[in-house]
Amino acid sequence: MQISQKQLEQVNDRIKALVNAGSFYGKKLEAAGITEVKTAEDFLKLPFSEKKDLRDAYPLGLMTAPEEEIVRIHSSSGTTGKPVIIPYTAKDVDDWGEMFKRCYEVAGITNKDRIHITPGYGLWTAGIGFQNGCEKLGAMAIPMGPGNTEKQLEMMQSMKSTVLCSTSSYALLLAEEIEKRGIKDKIHLKKGVIGSERWSKKMRDRIAESLGIELYDIYGLTEIYGPGIGINCEHNTGMHYWDDYLYLEIIDPKTGEPVPDGEQGEIVITTLVKEGAPLIRYRTHDLSRIIPGECPCGRSYPRLDTIMGRTDDMMKIKGVNVFPSQIEEILGSFKEISSEYQIRISHLDGKDTMRIYVESTGDVDFAALSKRITDKVKSVIGFTPIVKVVEIGVLPRSMKKTARVIDERYDEK
Site for Zn ion, rule CB under 5 A: 233, 235, 295, 297, 299
Beta carbon of residue 238, minimum distance to Zn ion (angstroms, whole number) = 8
d(CA 115, CA 147): 16
Q: Which is nearer to Zn ion, 73 or 297 (CB)?
A: 297
Least distance from Zn ion to the Cβ atom of residue 108, Å: 12
Whole-number minimum distance, CB 240 to Zn ion, in Å? 6
Which backbone phi and psi does 42 adopt, to 5 degrees? -60, -45
Which CB sits closer to Zn ion, 46 or 233? 233
| Shortest CB 239 distance to Zn ion, Å | 9
Strand 337-348 relative to strand 351-360: parallel, antiparallel, unpaired? Answer: antiparallel
Residue 304 and residue 288 in contact, taking contact as beta carbons nearer than 8 Å? yes
DSSP string for residues in 150-198: HHHHHHHHHTT--EEEE-HHHHHHHHHHHHHHT-GGG----EEEEESS-
Q: Which is nearer to Zn ion, 103 or 277 (CB)?
A: 103
Cα 218 to Cα 204: distance, rounded to the nearest angstrom: 13
> Shortest distance, CB of residue 391 to Zn ion, whole angstroms?
41
For 377, residues 6+ apart whose C-beta sits below 8 A from its C-beta are 327, 330, 356, 383, 384, 385, 387
- Judge contact between 357 and 395, C-beta under 8 A: yes
CB of 19 to Zn ion, least distance (A): 38
Minimum distance of Zn ion from residue 102's CB (angstroms): 12
Given the complex with Zn ion, which of 60 and 297 has the nearer CB atom? Answer: 297
CB nearer to Zn ion: give 170 or 241.
241
Give the nearer residue to Zn ion in terms of CB position, either 214 or 329.
Answer: 214
Which residues, in sequence order, are CB contacts of 65 under 8 Å at separation 6+? Answer: 17, 21, 87, 89, 275, 276
Q: How many CA atoms lie within 13 A of 12 on its CB side?
A: 13
Amino acid at 26: G
| 210 vs 236 by CB, closer to Zn ion | 236
